[in-house]
Amino acid sequence: MSTSFRIPSSEITPEHLYLTRRDFIKSMGIAAGSMALAACGAAPSTSTASTPAPNINASAATDELGDPLTPHEVVTGYNNYYEFTTDKEDVAPMAKDFPTSPWEVAVGGLVKNPKTYMMEDLLKFEQEERIYRLRCVEAWSMVIPWVGFPISKLLNEVEPTSDAKFVRFQSIYAPEKMPGQLSGWYEWPYTEGLRLDEAMNDLAIFATGLYGKPLPPQDGAPIRVVVPWKYGFKSIKAIVKIDLVDVKPTSLWMAAASNEYGFYANVNPDVDHPRWSQATERRIGELSRRPTLKYNGYEEQVADLYVGWDDRLDTKTSS
Ligand code: MTE
């Protein structure tokens, strides 16, 4: 079967209209015939080297629950990226000229093989498509077709030592190019973390593209984390540093408001944010709200990580 999803021309630039799967495979270095699908169930079919390359057709594609992809223009036009601005619709124009090449990611800490990867090296990991729901802690959500590779593949290469318990990710610090970093409200650079076994879960990926193209700056180019069962703030953008550590990392949001944002930040409709309910969400593009699913609908794949854990203990006020 070949993938046959195409972005409706009304929603895209001509550039996208003519982008073929094969072009993308070439541009991203995706291994032909290896377009594994979303780890979670049914989804658009895969393409092989011998299959004629169809155009990307977003209108026909859904997530494994049958919900349509959020249009490309929304995914790339409504963003949270505080390094630039807190105004979601201004991120794309402000980030437009942010230089994302050359790019290096230094991986170190408690590992046997520390290494600084050039972006080109990271694109040599087999790139896959993953269609995931992104649920922001602000109670809106999207369905996004990412391209990327499991975090576990990189970690297996650098080989965490037996002392490593957590992975700490850091975004770029470039206040001369990112005016939001001049704000004293937050402790820059943006930092996030995962428990090592969470990072090793197959759903946790580094995204290098979306909608069949390299990531645009506003979505975290050239490489970001995507952990779909957690609130979107865990999916840290523009990563330049990854360290394996033995102490739970303090994220930018934990440092800013530990009573509101915890380390785990698992999507959970039964655990409200102190200032609003998390029981429902607004899927961008829909009129009425929909119920929020536990672990954003990925409970089957991740529940074993949290046996004996209560998400209500995640923030300081609720413990
Ligand atoms: N990463 C960095 N470096 N800076 C940010 O402000 N915002 C987070 C997350 N990653 C953020 C970040 C939040 S709150 C969300 S909801 C998602 O990115 C949004 O990703 P998107 O803009 O690609 O939809």
**Tens place of pLDDT per residue across the chain (319 aa):** 333 222 333 333 323 332 444 454 445 554 433 332 332 322 333 333 333 333 344 444 899 999 999 999 999 999 999 999 999 999 999 999 999 999 999 999 999 999 999 999 999 999 999 999 999 999 999 999 999 999 999 999 999 999 999 999 999 999 999 999 998 899 999 999 999 999 999 999 999 999 999 999 999 999 999 999 999 999 999 999 999 999 999 999 999 999 999 999 999 999 999 999 999 999 999 999 999 999 999 999 999 999 999 999 999 864 4
Residues 70/73/75/78 CA torsion (nearest 10 deg):
-120
Q: Where are the domains of the chain?
A: 3-316
Does the beta carbon of 236 sit less than 6 angstroms from any atom of ligand 1?
A: yes
Q: Which is nearest to 265 in space by CA: 251, 255, 276, 275?
A: 251
Q: What is the number of alpha carbons within 13 Å of residue 280 lying toward its C-beta?
A: 7
Q: Are 137 and 268 in contact (CB under 8 A)?
A: no
Residue-level pLDDT at 99: 98
39 three-class SS: coil
Q: Which of 233, 236, 281, 296 to mutate to test the pocket of ligand 1 (most atoms within 8 A of CB)?
A: 233
DSSP for 257-303 reads -TTT--SS-B--TTS-BTTB--SEEEETT-SS-EEPPGGGGTHHHHG
308 three-class SS: coil
Q: Which of 130, 210, 237 to mutate to test the pocket of ligand 1 (most atoms within 8 A of CB)?
A: 237
CA of 11 to the centre of ligand 1 (A): 22
CA 289 from chain centre, in angstroms, equals: 23
- Per the structure block, which two tokens stand in for 127? 């790139």
Q: Give the C-alpha separation, 57 to 59, whole Å.
A: 6
Instruction: Using CB atoms within 10 Å of the CB of residue 66, give its burial: 0 to 12 exposed, 13 to 18 middle, 19+ buried.
Output: exposed
Q: Give the C-alpha separation, 126 to 22, whole Å.
A: 15
In the chain, at which residue ranges do the beta strands (DSSP E only) sit? 104-109, 115-118, 128-135, 140-150, 166-171, 191-195, 205-210, 213-214, 224-226, 239-245, 280-283, 290-291
CA of 54 to the centre of ligand 1 (A): 31
For ligand 1, atom 9, the nearest C-alpha belongs to 233
Q: Is the peptide bond before 189 cis (omega within 30 degrees of 0)?
A: yes
CA of 311 to the centre of ligand 1 (A): 21
Q: Give the C-alpha separation, 293 to 300, whole Å.
A: 12
Architecture of domain 3-316: Alpha-Beta Complex (3.90)
Residue-level pLDDT at 28: 53
